[in-house]
Structure 1
C-alpha cells in the first residue's frame, strides 16, 4: 500500500511546501494509480479530500499542516512509508441529505461531519422534527439544528453543546443550536439507522438553509437525513493516536 502515494495539499504555503518536500523524497503517484492518499492541511482539507475521493475506495492518511487537525496525524517528513504500513484504519459512513425547496427541487449531498439547518435572517427558525415517520417535536424555535456523525460529533456538534459519540456507538447526535422553545430541550441521541425529517414552518417569514458539510441549499422546506451505509470512507491514523482514542480523550478535555 505504501509504494504508490498521492499527495493532496491545502492551498496554503505551509501545506504546499510540505507536499513538495514529501513528493521529492518519496515520489508522487497520480490519483488514478495511487494506493493511499496523504492529505496535507487541516480538518477542512481532510473533508475536501474525502469528498473528492468518493467512490474510489482509497484510504486517506492526513498530516496536520493547519490549525486544529482533529482528523489529522502529526506532520513529520521522516519515516512516512513506515507510518503508513503501521497505520490503523477507521471506517466512517457519511450522512446523506436530501433537501427540498419551495419549488420541490431536490438536492442530494453527503456529509462526513454533519447536516445542519440554519436560519437565514434575524427571525428564529421554526422546525418540526420527525424520526422514522413519527413526529417527535411539533415545533422547535431556534437558530438551527444539526445531525452529526460520530466522527463529526467533536466539531460543530460539540460547539453547540451536543454530546461526543464514540465511533462504535451506532448513534447519531441530534443537537439544537440556540434553542428558544422548548428552552430546556438539549437534543437527542438517535439510532444510526434512524431517518430524520425536518419540516420548516413559516418558511417565507422564517427562511432556513440546509448545509451538508460545505454543500448549502437555501430556502428549504423539507430536509431528510439518514446514515448511508453503502458509502464507506477509510481514514488512517498512527497507532498511538487513533480516532477512537481522540474521541474518548476529547471527553476529558477541560
Structure 2
C-alpha cells in the first residue's frame, strides 16, 4: 500500500468531467503538478492518452476515473474513498511507440503513440505500401485501406476493430494489422517482437496519398514512416486491484 496525499486533478472539457473536478478538488484540494505524487484524470480513454502525452516524461503515476464513454484505461468513477483507492491501486508500466515520418515534400515529423500508429489512405483509392522489418523487406506490395501497428495496451482499440489480435500486457510483441487488405487478399497481419523497427514505404504517394497517425496526431502525404518501441519512456497507469490491464485484456476476449 502506497499513501499518496498530494493529488493533482485534471479533467476533460465535458460538463460531467468538469463537475467531478469541482467536487474532488473541493474535497481533496489541488496539488501543483510539480509537487504531485499522483495525477487523477477525469474523462475517457482519449483524455487519458492526452494526459499521458502531456506529462513529457514526468515520473508520476496517473489514475483515471471514467467521465467519458469507453473508459478501457479508466477506473470506475466514485467521489468516495479516493485516498484508499489510490493507496491500494496496482501499477502498470507501458512504453509508447516512436514514429518518424517523412512527407512527399521532404518534411520530417516525430510522434509518440501509446495505443497505435496507423497508416491510412487519404483519398478514394487504396494505398500501395511496402513493409520492411529490421531492414529486411517482408512485403513488396500491400494494397489496402491501411495498416495498424499496435502496442498491447492499444490492441483492443482500432487494432481489434480491424480484426487484429488482443495482446497480453508484458508479452513484448506488437501487432501489425491490415485494414481491408485487397492484395494479398488473405494477408491479415503479423506479430512482431517489441524490439522490431517497422518501415512503411508508400509506393505511389502522388496518385494514392497516405496519412500517418500517432494517437490522433496526424501527418498527411507521407512518403515513408519508421516506427519502433521507445523503452526509455515509461508511462505509469494505476488501476483498482483486480481490474488492471491484464485482466481487462483477458476479459475483453470473452465478451
* Same-fold call, TM cutoff 0.5: yes
State yes or no: 1:226 paired with 2:228: yes
Q: Does 1:193 align with 2:195?
A: yes
2:40 aligned to 9, 21, 38, which one?
38
Instruction: For residues 128-153 of structure 1, give each alpha carbon's deviation from its aligned partner in whole angstroms, at most 9, with x where no partner exists.
Output: 00000111110000010010010000
- Indicate the SS of the match to 1:49: helix
CA shift, 1:103, in A, is 2.6
Quote the Cα distance in structure 1 between the aligned partners of 2:39 and 2:248: 21
Aligned to 2:133: 131
SS at match of 1:169: coil
Q: Report SS of the residue matched to 1:166.
A: coil
Which consecutive residues of structure 2, in runs of 5 or more, have no partner in the other structure? Answer: none
CA distance in 2, matches of 1:66, 1:103: 38
Q: Deviations 1:85-110 (Å, cap 9, x if unpaired)? A: 00000000000000001232111110
Q: CA deviation at 1:54?
A: 2.1
Which of 93, 98, 101 lines up with 2:100 in the alignment? 98
Residue among 88, 113, 116 paired with 1:114: 116
- After superposition, residues 1-254 of structure 1 pair within 5 angstroms as 1-253=3-255
2:33 and 2:26 mapped to 1: Cα distance? 17
- How many residues align? The count is 253
1: CA distance, partners of 2:57 / 2:174: 23
**SS in structure 2 of the partner of residue 181 of structure 1:** coil
For 2:33 and 2:71, the matched residues in 1 are separated by 23
* Alignment partners' CA distance in 2, 1:185 and 1:241: 34
Moved over 2 A (4+): none
Q: CA–CA distance in 2 between the matches of 1:252 and 1:245?
A: 11
Determine the C-alpha separation between the residues in 2 that align with 1:135 and 1:230: 27
Deviations 1:222-243 (A, max 9, x none): 0000000010000000002111
Taking the aligned partners of 1:39 and 1:238, their CA distance within structure 2 comes to 14
